[in-house]
Every structure is written in C-alpha cells, then in structure tokens.
Amino acid sequence: ETGVTQSPTHLIKTRGQQVTLRCSSQSGHNTVSWYQQALGQGPQFIFQYYREEENGRGNFPPRFSGLQFPNYSSELNVNALELDDSALYLCASSGEKQGNYGYTFGSGTRLTVV
Amino acid sequence: KQEVTQIPAALSVPEGENLVLNCSFTDSAIYNLQWFRQDPGKGLTSLLLIQSSQREQTSGRLNASLDKSSGRSTLYIAASQPGDSATYLCAVDNYGQNFVFGPGTRLSVLP
C-alpha cells in the first residue's frame, strides 16, 4: 500500500509567477485535501476534493485553485504568487477503510516566493 | 467556528520523564480527533486517531484521551526519549469537511 506522495519537494518562484503542486493519494482513497502551513503555525485548510469535485474551501482567495483527476491524484495551482505564499503545502488523502476515517499526509512541498 | 488551542507551546524535559500535552477545542460536534507528529521541515505523521464515540487510544508509549463534552484531548507520552523531539499537532475533524489544527507543542527531550 503506497502512501501520499507530493512533488516537487522544494520550489523557488518569483513574485507574480504561477505554480502547480502535485499530489498522488494513497491507494483506495478518493478524497484529497490541501493545507498551507506557514513557519511556526499549524496547517490551514485550503480546499478539499471528493471524486473530482470541490467539496469545501477555506479562507483562501480564488487565485488558489485545484483539480482532482479520475485516479484521485490532485493539483494545487497558485496564480500571481505573493511573498506571503511562501509556506509548506501539505496534501492529505482519506477514504472509507474499515473504520479508519483518518487522514494520511504527504511530506509536503516547500514553496519559497522571492 | 471551530478553534483549537494547544498548551504548552513549547516543552523541554530530560529523557525518561512522562509528559502530557493538552489540546482544547471550542465546538464539541466533532467527527474525530487526530494527533500528529511533525519533524522540522517535514510532513505530518499520524500518531493516534480517536473517533468521536471513543474515549482513548493507545499505541506503544503514547496514549490519547478525548473528552468531547469539555472540548479537551490529552496526549500522554511515557518514558520520553530524545527521538520524541518534534512538534506535536492536534487536529479536529469537523465531519469530514476539513481538519482544524492547533498551533502545536514543540517538544525537546534532552539526553
């Protein structure tokens, strides 16, 4: 059983650019959530995808957008990058699995905006 | 709006001590609560998941309890080791929509 994998692990972008982060969910999981974790803080919910549809969104502007594919992998796109977008971006997958309704997190993508 | 707090923010203990990390949440209508460990610059590792109908879960030297009515959870670590040094995050699942995380407790276990 594979876990959640995220790519790339590190990324440096210039203010105003666009970025795409990728996430492969754990086998058997059909729900993917994205979180932003600024330095020294707990992760903040960005949005969740369930069976290719957005299923909830946190307090993030529209320049944060996402996609989920038929194999349940997912992308997070951020347009018009700002310095404050520098953070660790975490992807988590979940699915009904014999009583385990918890989430499995990936190792994250560290985004630095300069 | 669900809010999660964790006390203490940081903790430094000598190796071998038993310790308790605290988590409080404002809305008791939760689906489950999960404790995570995070090493510096890394992702989250799940430690224990407590369903809303459960009172506690145990894994090795770790024990987590949940009191929904008072909005509290504690993570008990027995016989702490230097390898336990990390940030511990408490997260509340609001019925599958999303996790609300606390700010974490940064633990240092000194040899």
Give the closest-approach CA distance of A52 to chain B in angstroms.
Answer: 15
Q: Mark yes or no for CB contact B34/A103 under 8 Å.
A: yes
Confidence of residue A96 (pLDDT cuts 50, 70, 90): low
Find the mean pLDDT for residues A53-81: 94
pLDDT of A2 > 80? The answer is: no
Q: List the single best residue of A29, A48, A101, A104 to mutate versus B (max B Cβ within 10 A).
A: A101
Q: Residue A44 phi/psi, 5° resolution?
A: -115, 135
The partner residue sitting opposite A42, judged by closest CB among B42, B98, B102, is B102
The partner residue sitting opposite B98, judged by closest CB among A45, A100, A104, is A45
Pull the structure tokens for residue A11.
């990324």
Distance CA B35, CA B95 (A): 16
Q: What is chain B's length?
A: 111
Distance CA A52, CA A73 (A): 9
What separation in angstroms does the CA of B79 have from each of A21, B84, B85? 40, 10, 13
Beta bridge partners of B16: none
pLDDT of A1 > 80? The answer is: no
Find the mean pLDDT for residues A84-110: 81
Cβ of residue A49 closer than 8 Å to a chain B Cβ: no
In this predicted model, what pLDDT tens digit does every residue of B46-69 receive, in sequence order? 999 998 899 999 999 999 999 999
Burial B72-87 (b: 16+ CB within 10 A, else e): ebbbebeebeeebbbb
pLDDT number for residue A22: 98
Size of interface A-B (CB pairs under 8 A): 64
Contacts of B32 in chain A (CB under 8 A): 101-102
pLDDT number for residue A92: 92
A54: closest chain B residue by CA:
B97
pLDDT of B101 > 80? The answer is: yes
pLDDT number for residue A26: 84
pLDDT number for residue B96: 60
Cβ of residue A106 closer than 8 Å to a chain B Cβ: yes
Distance CA B66, CA B56 (A): 6
Contacting residues for B53 by C-beta, under 8 A, at least 6 apart: none
pLDDT number for residue B93: 86
In this predicted model, what pLDDT tens digit does every residue of A25-65 receive, in sequence order? 888 888 899 999 999 899 999 999 988 899 889 999 999 99
Give the closest-approach CA distance of B6 to chain A in angstroms.
Answer: 10
More confident residue, A56 or B35: B35
A103 DSSP 8-state letter: -
Distance CA A36, CA A15 (A): 17
Q: Residue A17 phi/psi, 5° resolution?
A: -75, 175
pLDDT of A68 > 70? The answer is: yes
pLDDT of B74 > 90? The answer is: yes
pLDDT number for residue B97: 66
Nearest to B80 by CA among B106, B67, B62: B62
